[in-house]
Amino acid sequence: MYLVTGATGVIGRPLVAALLSAGLPVRAVSRRPDAALPHGVGLVSPEELDLADVESLFVHPRATKDYVDDLLRRAVAHGVRRVVVLSAINADDDPSHQPSRYNGDRNTEVENAVVACGLPWVSVRPSSFATNTLAMWRGPIALGDMVFGPYSAFTEAVIHEQDVADVIARAMVDDALDGRRLSITGPEALSLEQLVAIIGTALGKPLRYQEVPAEAAASAMVAHGLDAGFVHALLSRYARELERRPVVTDELATVLVRPARSFAEWVEDHRKEWS
C-alpha cells in the first residue's frame, strides 16, 4: 500500500494520480471525510491512520507538521519500507529567508524528522511552484492586461506540480534514490516579466508586467491580507537574488529520464483557471 498524506492538495492530487497510473494501491489521508478522490483510493483521517500494510509513505510537510514524530514512530513500528518527504529547495537557508515559514510551514523540521527516523528516506526539494502565479496574478489578469508588482527582472525556474509529483512517485518505488535530497526545478529560469508574457501568449491576450517600487508592492500585498512577515521575506528574497545566477538543476530530468515540463505547458494545463 502507498500512503499519501496531504492527498487533497496541490502536490497530493497529482501524486495520487501518478501512483494510480503506475498501477499501485493508494490510501489517502485527509481531514475531510467528504474529500473527493479518484475511484479505488481509500480515505483515512489523520486520527485513524493504519500503517500495518503500508510499504511506502509520503510525508507532506504542511499536512503532517503537527504529528510527524508520531507518524514516523508508527511507520518504524510497522516496518514501512521507505519514507519520501516533500521539502523545499531553500530548506537549508537561514529560516528568516524562507518566506513559507511565516505562513506556518516547517519544511526543514519535517525533513529532518524523516531523515532521522531510521527508515530509508528520500527528500524531494522543489523550487517555487508554477501555481503560485495563479495566486499572485489571477485577479489582475482576469480584469485587465497589466500586472503590477516588484522586481520585474527577478528570475527563477518555477516547476509544474505534476513534475514534483512524478519525482515523488518515482522515489516511493525506486530504492536507487534512497538517502538523496533531490533539488528539482523547472527547465529554465524566467523573470517575473517573462512569466506574465508567457501567460499572455497562451491566453491570446497581450499582458504586461509593470514594475512598482518594492515598498508600494509590499503595502498592497499586506492590504490584500498577506502576512507582513511573509511579504517582507519574499521581497527580501527577490532583492537578494536579483544579482545571483538563478538555480536550474537537471535532477528531475535525470530521475525521470525526460525533461521538466515548461512554464508554457503549465499555463496550458491550467488555462481554465485564468478566466
Examine residue 132 and tell whether it contacts ligand NAP (CB under 6 A). Answer: yes
Examine residue 88 and tell whether it contacts ligand NAP (CB under 6 A). Answer: yes
Cα–Cα distances in angstroms (integers) from residue 71 to residues 47, 63, 103, 119, 272, in the given order: 10, 12, 23, 12, 37
Of 5-13, 18-26, 68-76, 116-124, the segment contacting ligand NAP by CB under 6 A is 5-13
User: Which of 6, 150 has the CB closer to ligand NAP?
Assistant: 6
Supply the minimum distance, in Å, between the C-beta of residue 79 and ligand NAP.
26
Examine residue 60 and tell whether it contacts ligand NAP (CB under 6 A). Answer: yes
DSSP β-bridge partners for residue 29: 44
Check: CB of residue 156 under 8 Å from CB of residue 238: no
User: Which of 161, 193 has the CB closer to ligand NAP?
Assistant: 161
Supply the minimum distance, in Å, between the C-beta of residue 66 and ligand NAP.
7
Site mask for ligand NAP (CB under 6 A), range 90-119, x = bound: ----------x----x-x------------
159: which DSSP letter? Answer: B
Supply the minimum distance, in Å, between the C-beta of residue 145 and ligand NAP.
26
Total chain residues near ligand NAP (CB under 6 A): 23
Burial 81-100 (b: 16+ CB within 10 A, else e): ebbbbbbbbbbeeeeeebbb
Contacting ligand NAP (CB under 6 A), which of 2, 129, 238, 266?
129
Cα separation, 9 vs 196, in Å, equals: 25
Of 4-12, 177-185, 198-206, 229-237, the segment contacting ligand NAP by CB under 6 A is 4-12
- N residues, the chain: 275
Of 2-10, 194-202, 214-222, 250-258, the segment contacting ligand NAP by CB under 6 A is 2-10
Supply the minimum distance, in Å, between the C-beta of residue 102 and ligand NAP.
11
List the 82-86 sheet strands across, edge first.
42-44, 26-29, 2-4, 56-59, 82-86, 121-126, 181-184
190-191 and 155-156 as β-strands: parallel, antiparallel, unpaired?
A: antiparallel
DSSP β-bridge partners for residue 26: 2
Residue type at position 64: T
Examine residue 11 and tell whether it contacts ligand NAP (CB under 6 A). Answer: yes
Q: Provide the binding-site residues for ligand NAP, judged by CB under 6 A.
A: 6, 8-12, 30-32, 35, 60-63, 86, 88, 100, 105, 107, 126, 128-129, 132
